[in-house]
């Protein structure tokens, strides 16, 4: 109910839901005129629940929102665990929402969380989010948001990431150092910064080693799935017999390539080395065990909460907030799928 009313007020006045929410909470960055308009309209719409909630506002709600693209995914599940673990230590609770890689859900979920009076939001962008107004308005209004993992350079706020370019460079360099000469790359969908950066890291390593870059052996795995990898394996086997290594942007797809090539009796790693990315549990189970890049999900979740917590405290204390980007180290985990 409350949400519908917030929206109604926003639409009636032609302003954003975030501004309405801020106006009702008496934030400094909303003009007195707007505040007056919003409050009078809210009163006439009988918007009582949130006037009460508003009184609670000065006490922190000690709840944060966590928007995650996909819960059933080893890396993101690790992030949830890390956030909840760090939040617990500070007495915070975490409302988790799944955007399912949808921009529309992401927008709605941010509104829902604002309506719940969360003290801040941790967000990994949905793959199809390309318009950032819903976020930049909110950040400009002084609401604490920290982006993690899937970020964009277009938004000015704190971020917690790994250096995907460097990690992918190192993984490719390892393949080159162990004698691979024709290294295929399996990348993810076109938009996310993570998949772009891993692709750039791969390309840079080739360049650094004077290996010609060949677009015909860069494959896209649209669903990040095992099946995507299996299909690509067939394609490599059929049309690119000279490929002697595959660097895939995620473990599940790397495993798909491995399963696919094995079914075609290609010897791993003797004929083709395979390198994944993320270090999921499954990498210890594949046969041969998968070499990969360790992406520290639990640590990223913990760190993201810590950065958000500091921002919440700084804003409360009216200290100047300095946005920062924390880069967590990754490391190569060499197992049996690479030479």
291-310: contacts with a second copy (CB under 8 A)? 298
Token pair of 103 as six digits: 């921009």
- By the rule CB under 8 A, 36 interacts with a second copy: no
- By the rule CB under 8 A, 176 interacts with a second copy: no
Stretch that binds a second copy, among 34-42, 108-116, 126-134, 267-275 (CB under 8 A): 108-116
Of 192 and 276, the one with the shorter C-beta distance to a second copy is 276
- Closest CB 325 distance from a second copy, rounded Å: 25
* Candidate list 46, 72, 153, 265; residue touching a second copy; CB under 8 A: 72
Residue 335 near residue 289, CB atoms below 8 Å: yes
Of 2 and 36, the one with the shorter C-beta distance to a second copy is 2
- By the rule CB under 8 A, 180 interacts with a second copy: no
- By the rule CB under 8 A, 265 interacts with a second copy: no
* Candidate list 6, 20, 38, 94; residue touching a second copy; CB under 8 A: 94
* Candidate list 5, 19, 98, 338; residue touching a second copy; CB under 8 A: 98
Token pair of 224 as six digits: 């990040």
- By the rule CB under 8 A, 5 interacts with a second copy: no
* Candidate list 13, 77, 176, 211; residue touching a second copy; CB under 8 A: 77
- By the rule CB under 8 A, 226 interacts with a second copy: yes
- By the rule CB under 8 A, 281 interacts with a second copy: yes
- C-alpha distances (whole Å) from 282 to each of 116, 179, 227, 276 are 37, 26, 15, 11
3-state SS, residue 259: helix
234-253: contacts with a second copy (CB under 8 A)? 252
- By the rule CB under 8 A, 218 interacts with a second copy: no
Question: Cβ–Cβ contacts within 10 Å for residue 287, how many?
Answer: 11
- Closest CB 78 distance from a second copy, rounded Å: 5
Residue 78 near residue 301, CB atoms below 8 Å: yes
How many helical (H) and strand (E) elements, i.e. helices and strands, does the chain have?
12, 12
Question: Cβ–Cβ contacts within 10 Å for residue 7, how many?
Answer: 14
- Can you tell me the distance from the alpha carbon of 267 to that of 255, in angstroms, rounded to the nearest whole number? 14
Token pair of 60 as six digits: 């922190």
* Candidate list 52, 216, 238, 265; residue touching a second copy; CB under 8 A: 52
Of 60 and 327, the one with the shorter C-beta distance to a second copy is 60
111-140: contacts with a second copy (CB under 8 A)? 112-113, 116
- By the rule CB under 8 A, 91 interacts with a second copy: yes
- By the rule CB under 8 A, 63 interacts with a second copy: yes
Of 95 and 321, the one with the shorter C-beta distance to a second copy is 95
- Can you tell me the distance from the alpha carbon of 56 to that of 39, in angstroms, rounded to the nearest whole number? 17
- Can you tell me the distance from the alpha carbon of 202 to that of 195, in angstroms, rounded to the nearest whole number? 11
Phi (first) and psi of residue 158, to 5 degrees: -75, 150
CA atoms within 13 Å, Cβ hemisphere of 2: 17
Phi (first) and psi of residue 102, to 5 degrees: -110, 130
- Can you tell me the distance from the alpha carbon of 122 to that of 147, in angstroms, rounded to the nearest whole number? 6
* Number of residues engaging a second copy in binding (CB under 8 A): 42
- Is 53 exposed, middle or buried (CB count within 10 Å of its CB: 0-12, 13-18, 19+)? middle
Phi (first) and psi of residue 157, to 5 degrees: -165, 180
Binding residues for a second copy, rule: CB under 8 A, are: 1, 3, 49, 52-53, 55-56, 59, 63, 71-74, 77-78, 80-81, 84-85, 88, 91, 93-98, 112-113, 116, 226, 252, 255, 259, 262, 281-282, 284-287, 298
């Amino acid at each position: 109910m409350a949400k519908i009313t917030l929206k109604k007020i926003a639409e009636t006045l032609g302003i954003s839901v975030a501004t309405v929410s801020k106006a009702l909470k008496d934030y400094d960055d909303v003009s007195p005129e707007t505040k007056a308009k919003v409050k009078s309209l809210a009163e006439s719409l009988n918007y009582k629940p949130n006037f009460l909630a508003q009184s609670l506002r000065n006490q922190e709600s000690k709840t944060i929102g966590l928007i995650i693209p996909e819960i059933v995914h080893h890396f993101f599940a690790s992030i949830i665990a890390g956030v909840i673990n760090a939040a617990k230590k500070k007495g915070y609770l975490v409302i988790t929402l799944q955007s399912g890689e949808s921009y529309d859900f992401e927008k709605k979920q941010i509104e829902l969380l604002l309506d719940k009076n969360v003290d801040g939001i941790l967000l990994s962008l949905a793959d199809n989010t390309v318009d950032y107004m819903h976020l930049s308005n909110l950040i400009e209004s002084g609401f604490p948001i920290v982006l993690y993992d899937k970020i964009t350079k277009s938004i000015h706020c704190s971020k917690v990431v790994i250096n995907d370019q460097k990690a992918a460079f190192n993984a490719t360099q390892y393949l080159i150092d162990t004698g691979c000469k024709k290294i295929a790359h399996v990348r993810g969908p076109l938009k996310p910064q993570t998949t772009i950066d891993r692709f750039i890291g791969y390309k840079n390593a080739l360049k650094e080693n004077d290996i010609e870059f060949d677009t015909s052996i860069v494959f896209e795995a649209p669903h990040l799935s095992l099946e995507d990898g299996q299909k690509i394996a067939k394609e490599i086997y059929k049309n690119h017999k000279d490929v002697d290594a595959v660097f895939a942007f995620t473990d599940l797809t790397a495993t798909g390539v491995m399963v696919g090539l094995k079914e075609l009796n290609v010897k791993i790693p003797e004929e083709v080395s395979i390198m994944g990315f993320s270090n999921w549990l499954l990498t210890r189970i594949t046969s041969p065990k998968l070499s990969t890049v360790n992406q520290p999900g639990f640590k990223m979740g913990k760190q993201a909460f810590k950065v958000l917590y500091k921002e919440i405290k700084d804003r409360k204390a009216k200290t100047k907030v300095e946005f920062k980007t924390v880069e967590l180290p990754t490391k190569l985990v060499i197992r049996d799928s690479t030479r």
